[in-house]
Structure 1
Amino acid sequence: MYRINKDKNNIAKLEERLFSDLKIRERENLQEWIAKNPDMLGEDLLIIQKEFDGFNDTHERLDLLAIDKEGGLVIIENKLDDTGRDVVWQALKYTSYCSTLTNQQIIKIYQSYLNSYEGGGNAKENLLEFLERDEEDLLLNKNDQRIIFVANKYRKEVTSTVLWLLAHDIQIQCFRAIPYTMADEAFLQIEQIIPLPETREFMIDAMEKEKEERSKSMAVAETEARMLDLWTKLKQRLSDQNINYLDRVSAKHYFDLGFSKGSGRFAFCVGRDSVRVELYFSNDPEKLLIDEMSKHKEKIEQQFGNELVFERLDGKKASRIRYDRPISPNENYSVSENRDEYIDWFIPTMKQFYEATYPILEKVQNN
């Protein structure tokens, strides 16, 4: 690695070091850096516990426990200059222990972390905000757990085992952490080495598809298939009408499908009691966006033709504007025969909603 000197139009080589040379410790240093900056691992992760030892009949403890954006548990194991021989077996044990954790147990674990390390907070609300989900849609630890290793050097027996597990649908990533120095300055480089970032998405997609076909329960598979069918048909109907809202969005099996415009995300949503269209602001902690939009509420509703719900969502970073169409007790969003009826409602409603809100959103953002 080199440091660029623009003034002299030259570069200077940094010296690769060992953590032990710099008196950097595993728990006090590397673990804390990851806990405070989980995005160094290349994705949005929410750390929910460190030095977790809440396993039945064992005093073992894992380094860091995190939640990813899909609500899955991520076990993070840190080693310094050498992984040792048993790191994979150790992580697999921790992963098996975590596989049975329920929603309430995870929320309790995270609440303990907030109380111990973050000065308090509401674990459930933080999770809902991080996952951008409503309370009724909160389902944690649904899919298989993931493992992330961070170390400077990986032994051959470790990399060989990791590659074999990857081929057998165990989600593992290995990151190499390399310290460098120049004079009195110290630097840290983190790079993913297994799987290579260029192939990771393909491998995960292939493994996810195989896993879904092999292990999903019939009820879950049917629900997700119907959601995927709903969004696929919605995308096709929009395309047929030359409406490009979802042209760059892939249909998923989730309960919502949306497209981003500046600071907001317009979404088609299916809930337990209603279907809705919404404009969601995921990063509005000071409520500037929703408050500015609320100033134009009368004009927006006049353009839209119906009353809208403006939700500040106080206590959360998010806010939103929504319009709902209630689902009667004898309806069921997962019943295929309702699909076309919902699509017939979604398309004109979103078109009116978008045309009423987006011009105002543009002005608010520009100001």
Structure 2
Amino acid sequence: MYIINRDNKQSKKIEAITFSSLGLKERDDLQEWIVKEPTILGEELLIIQKEFSGFSDTNERLDLLAIDRKGNLVIIENKLDDSGKDVTWQAMKYASYCSTLGKDGIRKIYQDYLNKTEPGIIAEDKICDFLNKSDFDEVQLNHDLSQRIILVAREFRKEVTSTVLWARKFRIQIQCIKVTPYLFEGHLLLDTEQIIPVKDVADITISLDEKAHDEIATGAEIAEREVIRNRFWNELLPKMNAKSQLFSGISTDSTHYDHWLTAGAGMSGLGYSFVITKKYAAVELGINKPNQEENKKIFDLLIEDKENIEQIFGAPLSWQRLDDKKMSRITYILDGVNVFNEDDWPQMQQFLVENMIKLNDALKKNINKLKQSL
């Protein structure tokens, strides 16, 4: 690694060091860095347990257990300067143990972890948010043979890399990530590099794995729910388009499987959404520009006129700044309805059409001002 002086074009090499030379520990340091920022490993992961030892008939414990964006369990084994020769076998054992975990067991494991780290936070809500699902019933976790392994170390022995390459031939999802510490002017730097599979190859492999995963995940229950939502949307849109042009750009010939349907709100990054779940229906304005700070600024400017907006709308709205998330939203909810109960559809569709028009009427003047000023 080099540091570059942009003025004189000179470069200075920063020498790699070892974890042991700094007195760093596997559990107290490297593991905690990953817990606090899982993207160190090159992807978004939800850490659901650390030092997990909840296996029957054994006292063994894995370092970190996570969920990826596909709902797969990810077993993370951390080493420091030397991977050791048995880490592959160790991790494969843990993956085999975890393969038997069901959705409710995973939820309980995560809830136990949250009770210690974030008391009061509900595991189901966090998992749904991470996987972008509206209801825990729609979440699928830990499909058969979908468990993944990530090995982390500064150096990997040939015994390890050889075994990993062999295992991958049998479609075992196992990766090696090299972590190298550097010290520069008192600052500790960490460089991470995925060495197996080579990243360019991994991009191709992952896309194939995702396709296979999607085919497996499309079970009968989810397929049925998608069909129901599709029929709901194709009933709702003509009713909406008969009274407003807000969603006229969305064709009723398209297939809409998700639990939300969004149209532009007249300003880049802002969208009006219908939301349908098995517990409620909602209309909302989503503020979701690429920059989190800009989203919060827009929300704050809108809420300054809260009294006037709600007076035009005709009811109190739910103002959700969502400080820990990139987006913010303003929403109005009808509780106690279920999109999978067709008897609720007339009430839901009337609510959605009437209140989406009212929400647009209440906000469009403010949005136009924001568009001009920002």
TM-score past 0.5 threshold: yes
**CA 1:267–1:68 in 2, change beyond 3 Å: closer, same or farther?**
farther
Deviation at 1:296, TM superposition (A): 4.2
Q: In the aligned structure 1, how far is the partner of 2:201 from the partner of 2:357?
A: 38
**Structure 1 residues 205 and 72 mapped into 2: Cα distance closer, same or farther (>3 Å)?**
same
Aligned residues: 352
Which one of the candidate residues 265, 269, 278 is aligned to 1:272?
278
1:310 aligns with 2:309: no
Partners of 1:357 and 1:78 in 2: how far apart?
Answer: 50
Partner of 2:20: 20
Give the CA deviation at 1:62.
0.7
Q: 2:128–2:139: 8 Å Cα contact kept in structure 1?
A: no
| 1:16-39 C-alpha deviation (Å, 9 max, x unpaired) | 233334333222221122122222
Aligned residue runs from structure 1 range 1-367, under 5 A: 1-6=1-6, 8-116=8-116, 118=117, 120-124=119-123, 125-131=125-131, 133-136=133-136, 139=139, 141-143=141-143, 144-166=146-168, 168-182=170-184, 185-213=187-215, 217-224=219-226, 254-256=258-260, 266-273=272-279, 275-280=281-286, 293-294=302-303, 296=305, 300=309, 309-312=317-320, 320-322=330-332, 331=342, 357=363, 360-361=366-367
Q: Give the distance between the partners of 1:252 and 1:168, measured in 2 at CA.
A: 36
Flag the 1:44–1:229 CA change in 2: closer, same or farther, 3 A: farther
TM-score (norm 1): 0.70
Deviation at 1:53, TM superposition (A): 0.6
Q: Equivalent residue of 1:58, what SS?
A: coil
How many angstroms does 1:85 deviate by? 3.0
Secondary structure of residue in 2 paired with 1:141: coil
Q: Residues of 2 paired with 1:332 and 1:76: CA distance?
A: 47
Gap regions ≥5 residues in structure 2: none
Q: 1:8 deviation in Å?
A: 4.5
Maintained 8 Å contact 1:50/1:63: yes
Q: 1-side partners of 2:324 and 2:9: how far apart? A: 47
Q: CA deviation at 1:77?
A: 1.1
What runs of 5+ residues in structure 1 fail to find an aligned partner?
A: none
Shift of 1:297: 5.3
Is the partner of 2:119 in helix, strand or coil? Answer: coil
Q: Distance in 2 between matches of 1:148 and 1:245?
A: 44
Whole-Å Cα distance in 1 between the matches of residues 324 and 4 of structure 2?
A: 41
8 Å CA contact retained: 2:74, 2:150 = yes
Q: CA deviation at 1:137?
A: 5.0
Percent identical among aligned pairs is 40
What SS does structure 1 have at the residue aligned with 2:155?
coil
Distance 1:90 1:73 in 2: 16
Distance 1:319 1:329 in 2: 25
TM-score (norm 2): 0.69
The CA distance in 1 between the partners of 2:263 and 2:156, in whole Å, is 41
Residue aligned with 2:74, SS: strand
Q: What secondary structure does 1:16 align onto? A: coil
Deviations 1:288-333 (A, max 9, x none): 87675455457657877x7674254999866541466955785189
| Contact 2:14–2:184, Cα closer than 8 Å, also in 1 | yes
Question: What value does the CA root-mean-square deviation take over the aligned residues?
Answer: 4.9
1:343 to partner: Cα distance: 11
SS at match of 2:63: strand
Alpha-carbon distance in 1 for matches of 2:186, 2:199: 32
